[in-house]
Structure 1
Amino acid sequence: SDVIVCAEMDEQWGYVGAKSRQRWLFYAYDRLRKTVVAHVFGERTMATLGRLMSLLSPFDVVIWMTDGWPLYESRLKGKLHVISKRYTQRIERHNLNLRQHLARLGRKSLSFSKSVELHDKVIGHYLNIKHYQ
Protein backbone atom coordinates (compact mmCIF):
# COMPACT_ATOMS: atom_id res chain seq x y z
CA SER A 1 0.00 0.00 0.00
CA ASP A 2 1.04 3.57 -0.65
CA VAL A 3 2.14 5.54 2.41
CA ILE A 4 0.76 9.02 2.99
CA VAL A 5 2.75 10.68 5.74
CA CYS A 6 0.30 13.51 6.32
CA ALA A 7 -3.28 13.64 5.02
CA GLU A 8 -5.47 16.70 5.44
CA MET A 9 -9.23 16.12 5.22
CA ASP A 10 -11.93 18.72 4.69
CA GLU A 11 -15.38 19.26 3.26
CA GLN A 12 -16.48 22.04 0.92
CA TRP A 13 -19.98 23.39 0.47
CA GLY A 14 -21.73 23.77 -2.84
CA TYR A 15 -25.32 23.75 -4.04
CA VAL A 16 -27.45 22.53 -6.91
CA GLY A 17 -30.25 24.75 -8.19
CA ALA A 18 -30.91 26.55 -4.90
CA LYS A 19 -28.83 27.14 -1.79
CA SER A 20 -31.25 24.96 0.16
CA ARG A 21 -30.13 21.96 -1.97
CA GLN A 22 -26.65 21.59 -0.50
CA ARG A 23 -24.02 19.34 -2.04
CA TRP A 24 -20.80 18.69 -0.15
CA LEU A 25 -17.41 17.72 -1.53
CA PHE A 26 -15.39 15.68 0.96
CA TYR A 27 -11.77 15.03 0.09
CA ALA A 28 -8.34 14.08 1.40
CA TYR A 29 -5.23 16.00 0.43
CA ASP A 30 -1.68 14.62 0.61
CA ARG A 31 0.22 17.43 2.29
CA LEU A 32 3.67 16.43 1.02
CA ARG A 33 2.76 15.53 -2.57
CA LYS A 34 0.32 18.46 -2.76
CA THR A 35 -2.36 16.41 -4.44
CA VAL A 36 -5.91 15.21 -3.82
CA VAL A 37 -5.90 11.51 -2.92
CA ALA A 38 -9.64 10.76 -2.90
CA HIS A 39 -12.96 12.60 -3.02
CA VAL A 40 -16.69 11.93 -2.64
CA PHE A 41 -19.87 14.00 -2.95
CA GLY A 42 -22.92 13.88 -0.72
CA GLU A 43 -24.58 15.32 2.33
CA ARG A 44 -22.56 16.51 5.31
CA THR A 45 -23.04 13.25 7.22
CA MET A 46 -21.09 10.38 8.73
CA ALA A 47 -22.18 8.20 5.77
CA THR A 48 -20.42 10.48 3.26
CA LEU A 49 -17.34 10.64 5.47
CA GLY A 50 -17.44 6.83 5.68
CA ARG A 51 -17.45 6.58 1.87
CA LEU A 52 -14.35 8.80 1.75
CA MET A 53 -12.63 6.72 4.43
CA SER A 54 -13.32 3.52 2.47
CA LEU A 55 -11.62 5.07 -0.59
CA LEU A 56 -8.63 5.86 1.64
CA SER A 57 -8.38 2.34 3.11
CA PRO A 58 -5.72 1.17 0.58
CA PHE A 59 -3.41 3.94 1.81
CA ASP A 60 -1.34 3.79 4.96
CA VAL A 61 -1.89 7.26 6.46
CA VAL A 62 0.49 8.17 9.29
CA ILE A 63 -1.03 11.47 10.49
CA TRP A 64 -4.54 12.81 9.87
CA MET A 65 -5.13 16.57 10.02
CA THR A 66 -8.62 18.04 10.15
CA ASP A 67 -10.56 21.04 11.37
CA GLY A 68 -12.79 20.85 14.42
CA TRP A 69 -15.83 19.15 12.85
CA PRO A 70 -16.85 16.57 15.51
CA LEU A 71 -17.49 13.70 13.07
CA TYR A 72 -13.80 13.63 12.10
CA GLU A 73 -12.85 13.07 15.70
CA SER A 74 -15.28 10.20 16.16
CA ARG A 75 -14.36 8.56 12.81
CA LEU A 76 -10.58 8.85 13.38
CA LYS A 77 -10.63 7.63 16.98
CA GLY A 78 -7.52 5.56 17.72
CA LYS A 79 -5.50 7.08 14.87
CA LEU A 80 -2.86 9.83 15.07
CA HIS A 81 -5.16 12.81 14.53
CA VAL A 82 -4.34 16.52 14.78
CA ILE A 83 -7.29 18.92 15.06
CA SER A 84 -6.11 22.41 14.16
CA LYS A 85 -6.79 25.19 11.67
CA ARG A 86 -3.04 25.78 11.60
CA TYR A 87 -2.36 22.37 10.04
CA THR A 88 -5.19 22.47 7.51
CA GLN A 89 -3.99 25.60 5.73
CA ARG A 90 -3.04 23.74 2.54
CA ILE A 91 -6.40 22.08 2.04
CA GLU A 92 -8.19 25.34 2.91
CA ARG A 93 -6.05 27.09 0.27
CA HIS A 94 -7.03 24.32 -2.15
CA ASN A 95 -10.69 25.01 -1.33
CA LEU A 96 -10.14 28.64 -2.35
CA ASN A 97 -8.42 27.55 -5.57
CA LEU A 98 -11.42 25.34 -6.40
CA ARG A 99 -13.75 28.29 -5.83
CA GLN A 100 -11.62 30.47 -8.12
CA HIS A 101 -11.36 27.89 -10.91
CA LEU A 102 -14.93 26.55 -10.79
CA ALA A 103 -17.57 29.28 -10.77
CA ARG A 104 -20.28 26.84 -9.68
CA LEU A 105 -18.58 26.54 -6.28
CA GLY A 106 -18.80 30.28 -5.65
CA ARG A 107 -21.00 31.32 -2.77
CA LYS A 108 -22.54 34.28 -4.58
CA SER A 109 -22.62 33.46 -8.24
CA LEU A 110 -24.92 33.30 -11.23
CA SER A 111 -23.04 30.15 -12.27
CA PHE A 112 -24.49 27.21 -10.41
CA SER A 113 -25.23 23.58 -11.17
CA LYS A 114 -28.74 22.69 -12.25
CA SER A 115 -28.39 18.93 -11.65
CA VAL A 116 -26.58 16.84 -9.05
CA GLU A 117 -25.14 14.61 -11.77
CA LEU A 118 -23.60 17.52 -13.68
CA HIS A 119 -22.34 19.16 -10.47
CA ASP A 120 -20.48 15.99 -9.44
CA LYS A 121 -19.15 15.30 -12.95
CA VAL A 122 -17.74 18.80 -13.53
CA ILE A 123 -15.95 18.99 -10.18
CA GLY A 124 -14.84 15.35 -10.43
CA HIS A 125 -13.46 15.96 -13.93
CA TYR A 126 -11.51 18.99 -12.70
CA LEU A 127 -10.01 16.95 -9.85
CA ASN A 128 -9.16 14.13 -12.27
CA ILE A 129 -7.28 16.49 -14.58
CA LYS A 130 -5.45 18.33 -11.80
CA HIS A 131 -4.66 15.50 -9.37
CA TYR A 132 -5.21 11.96 -10.60
CA GLN A 133 -3.24 11.96 -13.86
Structure 2
Amino acid sequence: MKSEIIAFVFGPVRRCGRTHQTFRHLLSLLEQTKIKVIRWITDSWWAYFDCLDQRLRLVRKASLQRLERKHLTFRTRLKRLTSRTICFSKSVAVHDTTIGLFINQFFFADKRS
Protein backbone atom coordinates (compact mmCIF):
# COMPACT_ATOMS: atom_id res chain seq x y z
CA MET A 1 0.00 0.00 0.00
CA LYS A 2 1.46 3.35 -1.04
CA SER A 3 0.86 6.35 1.18
CA GLU A 4 0.78 9.87 -0.19
CA ILE A 5 -0.12 13.36 0.91
CA ILE A 6 -3.51 14.45 -0.39
CA ALA A 7 -3.94 17.57 1.74
CA PHE A 8 -2.12 19.47 4.45
CA VAL A 9 -2.77 22.40 6.78
CA PHE A 10 -0.65 24.57 9.00
CA GLY A 11 -1.80 25.34 12.50
CA PRO A 12 -0.67 27.36 15.46
CA VAL A 13 2.22 26.04 17.48
CA ARG A 14 1.01 24.93 20.88
CA ARG A 15 2.69 23.09 23.69
CA CYS A 16 0.90 19.92 22.59
CA GLY A 17 1.70 20.66 18.94
CA ARG A 18 -1.76 20.14 17.40
CA THR A 19 -5.26 21.54 17.91
CA HIS A 20 -8.83 20.48 17.18
CA GLN A 21 -9.23 23.60 15.03
CA THR A 22 -6.32 22.61 12.79
CA PHE A 23 -7.67 19.09 12.33
CA ARG A 24 -11.17 20.41 11.57
CA HIS A 25 -9.60 22.68 8.93
CA LEU A 26 -8.04 19.59 7.31
CA LEU A 27 -11.39 17.80 7.37
CA SER A 28 -13.07 20.78 5.68
CA LEU A 29 -10.40 20.78 2.93
CA LEU A 30 -11.05 17.11 2.28
CA GLU A 31 -14.79 17.74 2.21
CA GLN A 32 -14.42 20.67 -0.24
CA THR A 33 -12.39 18.54 -2.64
CA LYS A 34 -14.92 15.70 -2.35
CA ILE A 35 -12.27 13.30 -1.05
CA LYS A 36 -13.94 10.56 0.94
CA VAL A 37 -11.72 8.84 3.47
CA ILE A 38 -12.75 5.24 4.04
CA ARG A 39 -10.16 4.44 6.72
CA TRP A 40 -8.17 6.63 9.12
CA ILE A 41 -5.02 5.12 10.58
CA THR A 42 -4.07 7.36 13.48
CA ASP A 43 -2.21 7.65 16.71
CA SER A 44 -4.05 8.23 20.01
CA TRP A 45 -4.39 12.01 19.68
CA TRP A 46 -7.60 13.28 21.32
CA ALA A 47 -8.82 15.30 18.29
CA TYR A 48 -9.07 12.10 16.24
CA PHE A 49 -11.25 10.61 18.95
CA ASP A 50 -13.42 13.76 19.12
CA CYS A 51 -13.70 14.56 15.40
CA LEU A 52 -13.75 11.21 13.57
CA ASP A 53 -16.26 8.43 13.23
CA GLN A 54 -14.61 5.75 15.38
CA ARG A 55 -15.81 2.96 13.07
CA LEU A 56 -13.47 4.35 10.37
CA ARG A 57 -10.51 4.83 12.69
CA LEU A 58 -7.71 2.36 13.42
CA VAL A 59 -5.00 3.05 15.99
CA ARG A 60 -1.97 1.15 14.72
CA LYS A 61 1.63 2.01 15.36
CA ALA A 62 2.96 -0.37 12.69
CA SER A 63 0.86 1.32 10.00
CA LEU A 64 2.12 4.75 11.05
CA GLN A 65 5.81 3.84 10.69
CA ARG A 66 5.78 4.43 6.92
CA LEU A 67 4.27 7.87 7.46
CA GLU A 68 6.80 8.68 10.18
CA ARG A 69 9.56 7.74 7.70
CA LYS A 70 8.21 10.39 5.32
CA HIS A 71 8.18 12.90 8.17
CA LEU A 72 11.83 12.16 8.90
CA THR A 73 12.73 12.62 5.23
CA PHE A 74 10.77 15.86 5.26
CA ARG A 75 12.60 17.23 8.32
CA THR A 76 15.99 16.10 7.04
CA ARG A 77 15.58 17.76 3.65
CA LEU A 78 14.11 20.99 4.97
CA LYS A 79 17.02 22.33 6.96
CA ARG A 80 15.40 25.72 7.35
CA LEU A 81 13.11 24.21 9.99
CA THR A 82 16.16 23.84 12.25
CA SER A 83 16.97 27.04 14.13
CA ARG A 84 20.70 26.29 14.21
CA THR A 85 21.16 26.71 10.47
CA ILE A 86 21.95 29.96 8.67
CA CYS A 87 18.84 29.67 6.50
CA PHE A 88 16.39 29.65 9.46
CA SER A 89 13.62 32.23 9.28
CA LYS A 90 11.39 33.48 12.10
CA SER A 91 8.64 34.30 9.61
CA VAL A 92 5.69 31.90 9.72
CA ALA A 93 4.78 32.87 6.14
CA VAL A 94 8.26 31.86 4.91
CA HIS A 95 8.00 28.50 6.71
CA ASP A 96 4.50 27.82 5.36
CA THR A 97 5.54 28.69 1.80
CA THR A 98 8.73 26.63 1.96
CA ILE A 99 6.94 23.60 3.39
CA GLY A 100 4.16 23.86 0.79
CA LEU A 101 6.67 24.12 -2.07
CA PHE A 102 8.64 21.15 -0.74
CA ILE A 103 5.54 18.96 -0.43
CA ASN A 104 4.46 19.96 -3.94
CA GLN A 105 7.87 19.13 -5.43
CA PHE A 106 8.65 16.00 -3.39
CA PHE A 107 5.25 14.31 -3.58
CA PHE A 108 3.62 15.63 -6.76
CA ALA A 109 6.42 16.44 -9.25
CA ASP A 110 6.42 13.00 -10.88
CA LYS A 111 2.61 13.07 -11.32
CA ARG A 112 2.73 16.21 -13.48
CA SER A 113 4.94 14.64 -16.16
TM-score between both structures, scaled by the size of structure 2: 0.78
Choose between structure 1 and 2: higher helix proportion: 2
Q: Residue 50 of structure 1: SS of its match in structure 2?
A: helix
Cα distance 1:84–1:33, how it changes in 2: closer, same or farther (>3 A)?
A: closer
By how many angstroms is 1:70 displaced?
1.0
Q: 2:9 pairs with 40, 63, 68, which one?
A: 40
Q: Which residue of 2 aligns with 1:84?
A: 60
Question: CA offsets per residue over residues 85-128 of structure 1, 9 Å max, x none?
Answer: 2211111111100011101234x633432201000000000011
The percent of aligned pairs where both chains have the same amino acid is 39
- Structure (1 or 2) with the larger CA radius of gyration: 2
List runs of 5+ in structure 1 lacking aligned partners.
1-31
Paired residues for 1:55-94 under 5 Å: 55-57=29-31, 58-94=34-70
How far has the Cα of 1:73 moved from its partner? 1.4
Report how many aligned residue pairs link the two structures.
Answer: 101
Misfit runs of 4+, over 3 Å: none
What CA distance in whole angstroms lies between the structure 1 residues aligned with 2:61 and 2:54?
21
Partner SS, residue 118 of structure 1 = helix
Q: Alignment partner of 2:39: what SS? A: strand
Distance 1:109 1:93 in 2: 23
Aligned with 1:127: secondary structure? helix
